[in-house]
Chains A and B, each alone.
Chain A
């Protein structure tokens, strides 16, 4: 027993020494630290992004699985001048916060996207949008009235022409936007309208109309899929990636992209990194490598905007991607900024409204 332990200890020591010296050898310029999602996303990213990146550039990626409190951590690093991360994922709601506090390096687009191929709304001053998911209306096509097709939120609200049970997510975000779209507000004005007292009242008044027809208010994405596949509801918004689960289990369902809420995620560079060049290199790789991204979306439904992403992609698959040009054109960009500022007050009203 003791001999066994000793051996283990020896092996462990040896590994440490080897790993340590390897680290030293690469330390200066051959490794960057990346703070990103753990779990499945981390696992797939390792295979699809980090491995090939190291192969292409010789730069290793040291992944730090992101914690919930990433922003306070980043702030502490930047303040103390000891920045441990060289690049990081930033959620849409954290991005404005980080910009306000000056926690990011400005993106050098002459390096990342010299030919100006990324869409303008993905090129932010301090971050590049690298992935998107959408909350979109999913319709059970077998439950539609003969010869009719649901095409908008106005149709979702139209219970006479499209009878049948419906569900919505039990949160104010996205729903109030959907209500305004159903009420005829143009997509580009949604947040302008929502920011006013009258606009908010208008959204809630529209929600009043649909309220009696909502069977249930779901709380998790898995639940929304369950509701649709059990026939508990016929029409229900959910995350775009969920359609795959439904279709692969033989449920006739399709996405209505019109009026969908697109949520973007950003990749940014913490202020004061010592590896700005390498980090910028990775940002370029992560946002513009079409072939990598094409492989990534076969595992996870979060595509970005890499130029040429849809060239050679299975058209069926492309049609389910939120960033597919035709799909993106009819969606609106969900404003994380608006909700970061207003969620607390609106949520209280929302809960009260649900109880009425």
Chain B
């Protein structure tokens, strides 16, 4: 019966599959082509990319920034999602609505809003000077810290929603069962709830990580001079009409992202196994 349903329902995927091939797979292959054919086969773009440490340095900074942002998002979103899941149904919808509101605003506007808040003559500095905490404005804008704050704020809703939907799937009777079988409250959470909810957290973290890897407006607006992302390099090269080199950077970014995601997944798997294993592991 099961196989029967599978066969008859695959056509449901066709529209999505078509979209994926037409608007993702083919363009990606075209970028791959552009990176090695310019116009004849050449490896010069990749030789240039790996020959200078500027690009590798920026790749490393991009990965590091994305990892930290997704980690902060995961840590903040987890208790928030747990809080929402514990509410009655109607309240859950209300809280999710609150989480969604910032998602409806453009990233550009939210980045500019952070400039207003963190600036020299901005909100926080005005309050701090007004209250006499400081007499000189504190430099918050145009620092790496500002990039973290703005990116976490922008990406946090995505993490919360992913995490929440995984948590809401968990049958809370399982925890009760664990308690009945003699688990202490903390044990029940660690060995039953945490492993079950970790999947959603990791999925959310991966989405946030992938989105971060492609960020460039926010770091350019609120970051310091060292907050250059791979995407900024791509944008610059495209503006110079160096399509080949831009394509090569894109391919490296893509591969780096895929490898990082793979590593994150592996680490998460090991972590889950350890949690389930509990004291005995």
Q: Please give the residue numbers on chain A whose beta carbons come within 8 Å of chain B beta carbons, in ascending order.
A: 68-69, 165, 170, 211, 214-217, 219, 223, 226, 230-232, 343-344, 347-348, 351-352, 354-355
Contacts and interface: CB of A to CB of B under 8 A. Distances in A.
Contacts of B120: 165, 230-232
B226 interface: yes
A216 B142 contact: yes
A142 to B, nearest CB: 13
- A226, A351, A354: residue with the most chain B Cβ atoms closer than 10 Å: A351
Contact of B54 (A226, A232, A348): A348
25 contacts: A165-B120, A170-B220, A170-B225, A211-B225, A215-B142, A216-B141, A216-B142, A216-B224, A230-B115, A230-B121, A230-B122, A231-B119, A231-B120, A232-B119, A232-B120, A232-B141, A344-B240, A344-B242, A347-B240, A348-B52, A348-B54, A351-B233, A352-B53, A354-B228, A355-B58
A15 B224 CA distance: 57
Interface in B127-158: 139, 141-142
Contacts of A215: 139, 142
Contacts of B241: 68-69
Contacts, number: 55
Given A348-B54, A351-B58, A354-B225, 14 more contacts: A165-B120, A170-B220, A211-B225, A230-B120, A230-B122, A231-B121, A232-B119, A347-B240, A351-B54, A351-B233, A352-B53, A352-B54, A354-B226, A355-B225
B240 A351 contact: no
A168 to B, nearest CB: 10
Given A68-B241, A348-B54, A230 B142 contact: no
B221 interface: yes
A350 to B, nearest CB: 10
A343 B240 CA distance: 9
A230 B236 contact: no
Which 3 A/B pairs are nearest by Cβ-Cβ distance?
Answer: A216-B142, A231-B121, A352-B54
A269 to B, nearest CB: 24
B169 interface: no
A217 B225 contact: yes
A175 to B, nearest CB: 12
B86 to A, nearest CB: 42
B115 A226 contact: yes
Given A68-B241, A344-B240, A355-B226, A219 B220 contact: yes
